[in-house]
A = this chain, B = another copy of it.
Amino acid sequence: MAEPRTYEKRKADTIAQLEAAEADAWVATASTDGVAHMVPLSIGWTEGRIVLVTESRSITARNLGASHRARVAVGSTRDVVMIVAEMLAAYSIADAPPQLLRSFAVQSGWNPSTTSAADGYRLLELRPVQIQAWREGNEIAGRTLMTHGEWVGSQPQNS
């Protein structure tokens, strides 16, 4: 088993995974009546925001519209970045802030505003509230990198 990474290393690795070209994530949401949904989606990462683009009629868009909450996993099951995120805003593609749309398009390699069906999509802006990152069992301690929307810093921690 490899040595556990430091807080600073985990934070750097996490940001690298979030801003990688063609990064994508498992996005889990729930309906108000308690049915879990999960899909893989391309992500954008800019200025501390996660950008998603989904069809307006998708279950993910509907669930986020109701709950404003998602759980977003980046990386693999053996190199986990697990994020609890809240949705700040949902935009039509035409009305999306240019910086968010551009960031998503460059990172994902897909510009939704150039598709003929752009009207059917929404750009969703999410803010991470909690971020945890771990690889092996020896990284469970110290896995919490962000709570309440703030990076925790490198002080000792147990969770």
User: Residues of A at under 8 Å CB distance from B?
Assistant: 24-26, 28-40, 63, 66-67, 69-71, 73, 76-78, 80, 82
Q: How far is the CB of A152 from chain B (nearest CB, A)?
A: 21
Chain B, Cβ-Cβ closest to A42: B77
Chain B residues whose C-beta falls within 8 Å of the C-beta of A32 in the assembled complex: 34
Given contact pairs A26-B26, A31-B34, A34-B33, A40 touches B73 in the complex (Cβ within 8 A):
yes
B38 touching A34, Cβ below 8 Å: no
**Which residues of the partner chain B approach A31 to less than 8 Å between Cβ atoms?**
30, 34
- Contact present for B30 and A36 (CB under 8 Å): yes
Cβ–Cβ < 8 Å partners of A37 in chain B: 28, 36, 71
Which 5 residue pairs of A and B lie closest in terms of their CB atoms, listed nearest first?
A30-B30, A40-B77, A30-B36, A28-B38, A28-B28
A28: B residues at CB distance < 8 A: 26, 28, 36-38, 71
Considering the chains assembled together, what is the distance between the CA atoms of A38 and B132 in angstroms? Answer: 12
Note all chain B residues with C-beta closer than 8 A to A38.
26, 28, 36, 38, 71, 73, 82
Q: How far is the CB of A31 from chain B (nearest CB, A)?
A: 6
Which chain B residues lie closer than 8 Å to A36 at the CB level?
28-30, 36-38, 63, 67, 69-71
Inter-chain CA distance A67–B30, complex, in Å, is 12
* Cα-based distance from A33 to B67 in the complex (angstroms): 10
A43 CB to closest chain B CB (Å) equals: 10
The residue that A34 contacts in the complex, of B40, B67, B78, B80, with Cβ under 8 A, is: B67
